[in-house]
């Protein structure tokens, strides 16, 4: 694949944001494919590789780039074309993925975003989503942009994404994503004057309403040795389990009930077609299936605390 840097109209959409322009030929095999990105953060730096899996499906299947599972993965689990077409599986993957995000309050893939948050007034600025990378930060000096915009120099703050940069999961920065200004005490006595007469000890995120703007890459990914991480394997697994529950059509009540209540089965008698189900546990559950719900609870976003 030859990448042309005709920014912003070609493969390069912006700083650090690229798209792979490729269309499968009519002879291309359907199923799982992979695109590999090779890049250097700076000139002379070690080359890094990021892999992305995707499906090539028959025309009309309605495949979407969004989803935490692939149609090909469900085929590997034994779902046949008689059970569900590619188009139906693709829709169910999107539905299950949206349900995962609704329940957890998070998304589990790298997404370029611009976050606009209220300035904290202190050296720490809390963010709502785990940080993968930050490309630019600015603060509005007043209520309106006309009053002045202050770009924030990246070297004056630290980005808490150590799960990717250091492989550090204790503490896990994904649970407390933030930016933090360096102060003199952090630099072992080294003094610097970042702007005018202000020293590092004076740097704070200006208090205000939606006055701090952060451009970057965000998402709850798990470390895999790359700069962006990958969708957690447990999230992919749960997405497939959710799809499996929905494969029978809504009019097929018998099969839907069997799929969605199989986990409650304590015993069955094939001769008389009888079975016993475990009592439902209503409190703290989503689907009722502990194999699914226990994972969703583990990935839920912490409560956001604040004051008025």
Considering only residues 287 and 26, tell me which one the structure prediction assigns the higher pLDDT: 287
pLDDT at 163 over 60: yes
Residue at 145 is within a domain: yes
Task: Compute the Cα dihedral for 179, 181, 187, 192 and give only its sign.
Answer: positive
- Examine the domain organization and report whether 91 and 103 are in the same domain: yes
pLDDT for the residue 146:
58
Give tens-digit pLDDT for 226-268: 889 999 999 999 999 999 999 988 787 776 676 666 654 444 5
- Examine the domain organization and report whether 117 and 23 are in the same domain: no
- Examine the domain organization and report whether 209 and 295 are in the same domain: no
- Examine the domain organization and report whether 237 and 101 are in the same domain: yes
Q: For residue 307, what pLDDT band results from cuts at 50, 70 and 90? A: very low
CA 50 – CA 20 distance, rounded (Å): 13
- Examine the domain organization and report whether 99 and 127 are in the same domain: no
Q: For residue 93, what pLDDT band results from cuts at 50, 70 and 90? A: very high
Asked which of 193, 218, 243 is the last residue of a domain, the reply is 218
Helices (H), the chain: 71-76, 86-104, 162-165, 233-246, 253-261, 290-298
- Examine the domain organization and report whether 95 and 235 are in the same domain: yes
pLDDT (average), residues 183-209: 62
- Examine the domain organization and report whether 152 and 15 are in the same domain: no
Residue at 210 is within a domain: yes
Cis geometry, peptide bond prior to residue 160 (ω within 30 degrees of 0): no
Q: For residue 106, what pLDDT band results from cuts at 50, 70 and 90? A: very high
- Examine the domain organization and report whether 297 and 207 are in the same domain: no
Q: Give the total number of structural domains in the chain.
A: 3
Q: In 4-30, which positions are buried (b, 16+ CB within 10 angstroms) versus exposed (e)?
A: eeeeeeebbeeeeeeeeeeeeeeeeee
- Examine the domain organization and report whether 99 and 124 are in the same domain: no
- Examine the domain organization and report whether 148 and 293 are in the same domain: no
Angle between helices 290-298 and 86-104 (to 10 degrees): 50
Residue at 48 is within a domain: yes
Residue at 47 is within a domain: yes
Residue at 184 is within a domain: yes
- Examine the domain organization and report whether 102 and 145 are in the same domain: no
The distance of Cα 196 from the centroid of its chain, to the nearest Å, equals: 39
Domain span holding position 127: 111-218
- Examine the domain organization and report whether 291 and 204 are in the same domain: no
Residue at 142 is within a domain: yes
């Amino acid at each position: 694949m030859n990448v042309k840097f005709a920014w912003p109209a070609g493969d390069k959409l912006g700083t650090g944001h690229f798209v792979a322009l490729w269309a499968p030929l009519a002879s291309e095999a359907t199923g799982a494919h992979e695109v590999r990105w090779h890049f250097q953060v700076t000139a002379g730096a070690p080359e890094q590789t990021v892999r992305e899996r995707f499906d090539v499906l028959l025309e009309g299947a309605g495949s979407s780039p969004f989803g935490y599972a692939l149609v090909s993965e469900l085929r590997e689990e034994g779902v046949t074309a008689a059970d569900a077409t590619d188009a139906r599986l693709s829709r169910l993957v999107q539905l299950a993925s949206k349900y995962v995000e609704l329940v957890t309050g998070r998304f589990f893939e790298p997404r370029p975003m611009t976050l606009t948050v209220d300035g904290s007034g202190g050296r720490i600025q809390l963010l709502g989503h785990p940080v993968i990378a930050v490309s630019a930060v600015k603060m509005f000096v007043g209520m309106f942009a006309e009053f002045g915009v202050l770009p924030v120099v990246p070297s004056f703050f630290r980005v808490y994404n150590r799960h990717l940069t250091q492989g550090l999961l204790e503490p896990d920065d994904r649970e407390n994503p933030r930016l933090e200004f360096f102060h003199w005490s952090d630099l072992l006595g080294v003094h610097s004057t970042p702007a005018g007469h202000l020293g590092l000890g004076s740097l704070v995120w200006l208090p205000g309403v939606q006055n701090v703007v952060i451009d970057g890459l965000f998402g709850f990914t798990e470390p895999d040795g790359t700069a962006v991480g990958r969708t957690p394997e447990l999230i992919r697994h749960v997405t497939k389990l959710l799809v499996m529950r929905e494969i029978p059509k809504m009019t097929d009540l018998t099969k839907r009930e069997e799929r969605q209540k199989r986990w409650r089965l304590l015993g069955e008698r094939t001769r008389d077609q009888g079975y016993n189900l475990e009592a439902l546990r209503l409190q703290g559950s989503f689907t009722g299936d502990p194999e699914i719900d226990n994972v969703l609870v583990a990935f839920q976003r912490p409560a956001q605390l604040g004051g008025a």
